[in-house]
Amino acid sequence: MALLSPRKTVMTASLAVAGVVFASPSGAEASFGERTLSYGMSNNDVKVLQEKLKEEGFFNFHTATGYFGEITKQAVKDFQSANNLKVDGIAGPQTFGALTNGSGSGGSAAPAPVKIPDSSLLREGSSGNAVTLLQEKLKELGYFTASVNGRYRSDTVEAVRTYQRTNQLQVDGIAGPQTIGHLNSGNGKPYSPEKPPANSGSGSTQLPTNTVLRLNDQGSGVEALQTHLKDHGFYSHSVTGTYGPITRDAVRSFQRAANITVDGIVGPQTFNALKNWTGSGSGDSGSGSGSGGSGGNAGTLMVGSEGPAVTELQNELRTLGLFHVQPTGYYGSITKQSVKTFQQQWNMTADGIATKATIQKISQAADVHREDAGSGGSGGSGGFQVMNLIADASTFIGTPYVWGGASPSGFDCSGFMQYVFNINGKTIPRTAAQQYNFGKSVSSPSVGDVVFFETYTTGPSHNGIYIGNNQFIHAGSSTGVTIANMNTTYWSTRYLGAKRLH
């Protein structure tokens, strides 16, 4: 049996005390410092290197992983710079000497970690340096086991989903601001295959394939359904195994987002859509629903807050047409901007922080909108709901304008109307003029009514859905789908009237 050098024996013992266990090296394996370590390598010597860098204050992850990725390379470069060595990110004889002889200079402050850019969403199909850094961080923590290649494919999706589930974030396989922010913070839990993922429940999460689930059903199939809906951000309650009204509403929300038949019944079409779902029920790109919550109903809510109070706030903002994705319970950048927009509309301090006064004002405004929707005939045959119409329309904000377009790849004004009404079970004509003639005239618009304008030609040539507070959502030729104010000079001078199309 090969003997360890005294130096390596001491290091192994100290790491065992720290809770990091190494496999014993074979006789053919070089001891630490006898071979150069560089980017892409993965072995026990890299773990020793990371531990030594950690002791010197240059490697800031909780656990040495044994993988020499971008983070380890940067830590080596920072150590080399602090010790007047050649800065190349490669651990060779000079770097080993400074580390093992105790002559290294520890940083006066922890070096800045390599951060993943958070300016855009990373999802399946993405590629580039940001994906490389994402894979590096996931690999450092043990979630990503494939080769780092900068391509966001199924293996990266699964690694992100596992990270999100373990760290109690919104599970959607998409690296958005919250997931990236959590990774950049250095607070991510290392992967532990012995630990069951959060929210896994006691039963199987395998979706059934040969059954239909509907209201009042019970059992493991319903548990699996609720778990998958919860992972995708459509269900924020406890997994109970009982198919009640809340589960039915979550199913409907998912069906609407997946653009399939909306009936609240889970059959083969819905099961297949759930299994293959790559979209997000979350808005704050990868946000967690959070079961607890910082910031109660009576407190101030701000970026980082989470829990039921945030979910309620997001629902109210969605009612007002200001929050354009599914509520997540996490107060991220999208929620902040929605609050800020509301504050600007009401001449409040526009800082994006939901104080008690802001929350009360949002609630009051949402109540008015709901009353307007009720007086405007929110019910109707086929279960038509005005607030669903507004919520669905708002999810397309940012979609580009395309002349003759009538799909999510691009809309013109009347194509947008026809599409949104259609997914809510209402068939209306195609052009603005036809829709004007089809609708029932109203003296003043209520939420959900369609407002018409005379723009490039005589008669009704443009329209949008009224969302209250003198605002409407429409597909503008220069803006794409957006929200506009009817009181501006341009729109007020071209206004023809409102029609009810539902």
CA-based torsion, 453, 454, 456, 457: positive or negative: positive
Produce one character per residue of 369-382: b if its CB has 16 or more CB atoms within 10 Å, e if not.
bbebbeebbbeeee
Cα 413 to Cα 390: distance, rounded to the nearest angstrom? 15
Active site residue 462: yes
Which among 228, 232, 474, 502 is annotated as catalytic? 474
Cα 465 to Cα 421: distance, rounded to the nearest angstrom? 10
Residues 396, 411 contacting (CB under 8 angstroms) = yes
CA neighbor of 289 nearest in space, from 279, 299, 281:
281
Cα 473 to Cα 490: distance, rounded to the nearest angstrom? 15
Residues 420, 392 contacting (CB under 8 angstroms) = yes
Active site residue 413: yes
Cα 346 to Cα 358: distance, rounded to the nearest angstrom? 10
Residue 314 corresponds to which amino acid? Q
Q: List the structure tokens of 57.
A: 């204050």
Q: Taking the CB of residue 167, how many other CB atoms lie within 10 A of it? A: 19
Which among 182, 232, 324, 462 is annotated as catalytic? 462
Cα 400 to Cα 403: distance, rounded to the nearest angstrom? 10
The answer for 452, left when phi > 0, alpha when psi is -120 to 50, beta otherwise, is beta
Residues 373, 387 contacting (CB under 8 angstroms) = yes
* Helix pair 129-140, 70-82: axis angle to 10 deg: 90
Q: List the structure tokens of 260.
A: 């399939």
* Helix pair 386-394, 413-423: axis angle to 10 deg: 130
Active site residue 369: no
CA neighbor of 32 nearest in space, from 101, 88, 86, 104:
101
Phi, psi of 401 (to 5 degrees): -85, 130
Which among 182, 228, 413, 502 is annotated as catalytic? 413
Q: List the structure tokens of 223.
A: 């548990």
Which residues are catalytically annotated? 413, 462, 474
